[in-house]
C-alpha cells in the first residue's frame, strides 16, 4: 500500500522511476567536472609552458582556466541533464 502511494505520487508529479534512474545528481556532475578539469588543466599547463617557456605564467593561465571551465562545465552538465533527448 505504501509502495502504491509512492508510485502514484511520483506519477502524479509527472516523474516516473525511469526518469529518476536517468537523472544525474549534482554531486556526480561536480565530481565529473573536477576530474575533467584536472586533466584539462594539466593539458593547458603543458601547452602554455611550451608556448611561453615560463612556468609561473603557465601556472597562472592554467589556474584561471581551471576555475572558469569548471563552473561552465557544471552548468553545461546540469542543463543537458534536463534534456530527455537520447536518454
**What is the model's pLDDT at position 85?**
84
The set of cell numbers assigned to 20 is 529518476
CA proximity to 31, closest of 74, 79, 68:
74
Residue 57 lies in a domain: yes
Residue 79 lies in a domain: yes
Q: HSE-up of 1 (CA within 13 Å, CB side)?
A: 0
Q: What is the Cα–Cα distance from 31 to 27, expressed in whole angstroms?
A: 6
* pTM, to two decimals: 0.59
Instruction: Provide the domain limits for residue 48.
Output: 25-87
State the 10-residue block means of pLDDT for the chain, 87 residues long. Answer: 50 52 81 88 96 97 92 90 85
Residue 11 lies in a domain: no
Q: Could you give the number of structural domains in the chain?
A: 1
Residue 60 lies in a domain: yes
Amino acid at each position: 500500500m505504501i509502495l502504491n502511494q509512492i508510485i502514484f505520487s511520483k506519477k502524479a508529479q509527472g516523474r516516473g522511476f525511469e526518469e529518476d534512474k536517468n537523472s544525474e545528481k549534482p554531486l556526480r556532475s561536480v565530481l565529473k567536472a573536477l576530474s575533467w578539469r584536472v586533466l584539462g588543466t594539466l593539458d593547458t599547463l603543458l601547452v602554455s609552458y611550451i608556448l611561453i617557456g615560463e612556468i609561473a605564467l603557465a601556472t597562472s593561465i592554467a589556474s584561471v582556466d581551471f576555475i572558469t571551465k569548471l563552473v561552465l562545465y557544471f552548468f553545461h552538465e546540469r542543463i543537458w541533464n534536463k534534456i530527455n533527448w537520447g536518454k
